[in-house]
Amino acid sequence: MNSEQTKTYIAFLALGIAVLSIIGLFFIDIPDKNRDLVNIALGSIIGWGGAVVSFYFGNSDQSNKEDKR
């Protein structure tokens, strides 16, 4: 397994966790005393997903295009 494949697997894992977390909120009742903790954790998880998207479709994608020239 090369470095690029590893990055891809980690990216899919981070996005998968973010999506499953959001979907899980529709089916799981969260106690009022834990609501703030869940909001903070979910914000972090969604942030990871956003970082993955930014990395793959931001500067990294542009860098790959420049390398091919």
**pLDDT tens digits for range 15-47:** 888 889 889 889 989 899 999 999 999 899 888
- pTM for this structure? 0.64
Mean pLDDT score of the chain: 82
Question: pLDDT value at position 40?
Answer: 93
Question: Is the Cβ–Cβ distance between 49 and 18 less than 8 Å?
Answer: yes
Q: Could you tell me how many residues make up the chain?
A: 69
Question: pLDDT value at position 68?
Answer: 66
Question: Is the Cβ–Cβ distance between 15 and 50 less than 8 Å?
Answer: no
Question: pLDDT value at position 49?
Answer: 80
